[in-house]
Amino acid sequence: MAEAKRARPVPTPETQHYWDGAKAGELRLQKCDACAKTYFPPRPFCPGCGSRKVSVFRASGKGKLYSYVISHRPAPGFTPPYCIAVVELDEGPRLMSNIVECEQTPEALQLDMKLEVTFEKLDDDISLPLFKPARRSAP
């Protein structure tokens, strides 16, 4: 029997740029040209002021661990225990993700630890943004 895979996202026209970005190894966000709000998830208008004049840009991919759980329950494509995290990006928006290249323990997963994006290829069309502990930046 084939191993169950994690749930695969299906893009819509409004979110396609985000998934195209992930496939290219970029985390893409949107910014309002009118009020300068940076937002997520993707929408073709600003959820702050309603303007339809918005731009897509490549985010830094850096952020910090805002909160998380370590799930001990079975889930397709995961080996418990695994961390389900919310990452606060340096640009402001938060998104759900998993923390990889890190022990899945409360000791290793410290709130506010610095993170950086990495991508896991699910198939030819979808790569999923995940996060790993940030490398120490050069002094």
Partner 1 sequence: MRKNQVAVVGAAETTKLGVIPDMSQMQLHADAALNAIEDAGLKISDIDGVATAVETPQQIAHYLGITPTWVDGTSVGGCSFMLHVRHAAAAIEAGLCKTVLITHAESGKSNIGRTPRMIGPDSFNGQFELPYGVTTPASMFPIPVLRYMKTHGITHKQIAMVAVVQREWAAKNPRATMKTPITVEDVLNSRMIAYPFRILQCCLVTDGGGALILTSAERARDFKKPVYILGTGESVETPMVSQMETFDSSRAFRTAGPLAFREAGIAHKDVDHVMIYDAFAHLPLYGLGDLGFMPHSETGKFIADGHTRPGGKLPVNTNGGGLSYMHSGMYGMYALQESVRQMRGIAPAQVKDAKISVCHGVGGMFAASGTIIFTNQA
Interactions with partner 1, residue window 37-96 (CB under 8 A): 40-41, 66-73, 75, 77-78, 81-82, 84-86, 94-96
Strands 94-97 and 38-39: unpaired
**Shorter beta-carbon distance to partner 1: residue 56 or 84:** 84
Q: What gap in Å lies between CA 133 and CA 1, rounded to an integer? A: 34
Tell me if 7 contacts partner 1 by CB under 8 A.
yes
C-beta of 139: minimal distance to partner 1 in Å?
Answer: 28
C-beta of 138: minimal distance to partner 1 in Å?
Answer: 30
Instruction: Candidates 1-9, 30-38, 51-59: pick the segment binding partner 1 (CB under 8 A).
Output: 1-9
29 contacts 40 by C-beta, under 8 angstroms: yes
Tell me if 97 contacts partner 1 by CB under 8 A.
yes
Q: What gap in Å lies between CA 56 and CA 132, rounded to an integer? A: 24
Q: Is 25 left (phi over 0), alpha (psi -120 to 50) or beta?
A: left
C-beta of 73: minimal distance to partner 1 in Å?
Answer: 6
Tell me if 127 contacts partner 1 by CB under 8 A.
no
Torsion over CA of 97, 102, 105 and 107, rounded to 10 degrees? -120
Using CB under 8 A as the binding criterion, the count of chain residues that bind partner 1 stands at: 35
116 contacts 129 by C-beta, under 8 angstroms: no
Binding site for partner 1 (CB under 8 A): 6-12, 15, 40-41, 66-73, 75, 77-78, 81-82, 84-86, 94-98, 106, 111, 122, 128
